[in-house]
Structure 1
Amino acid sequence: MPEKWTISNIVAVQVGAAPCWQVSLTRPDGSVGNHVMPTSALEWRAAEYGIDPTDVDTLLDILLHEPHMPTTDDPQHGPRYADDGPDLWTADTTTAAREAHAARIKTCPVQINVRAAKPVDVIRAGHRPDPARLRGMREVVDTNRWIKKHGDLPVPPKPTVEDPVPVSNAPAGPRGRN
Structure 2
Amino acid sequence: MKNGKAGYGIFLIAIGLLFSLQTVGIIDEFWSFSWPLILLFVSIGFHVGFFLSGANKQKAGLLVPGGILFVLSLLFTFEEMTGWNYSGYTWPIYLVAVAVGLFELWLFGGREFGLLIPIFILSGLAFVFMIQNMFSFNILSFWPLLLIIVGLFLVFGRGSNSAKDV
TM-score of the pair, normalised by structure 1: 0.27
Which structure has the highest strand share of the two? 1
TM-score of the pair, normalised by structure 2: 0.28
Q: Pick 1 or 2: higher relative contact order, CA cutoff 8 A, min separation 6.
A: 1
Which structure has the highest helix share of the two? 2
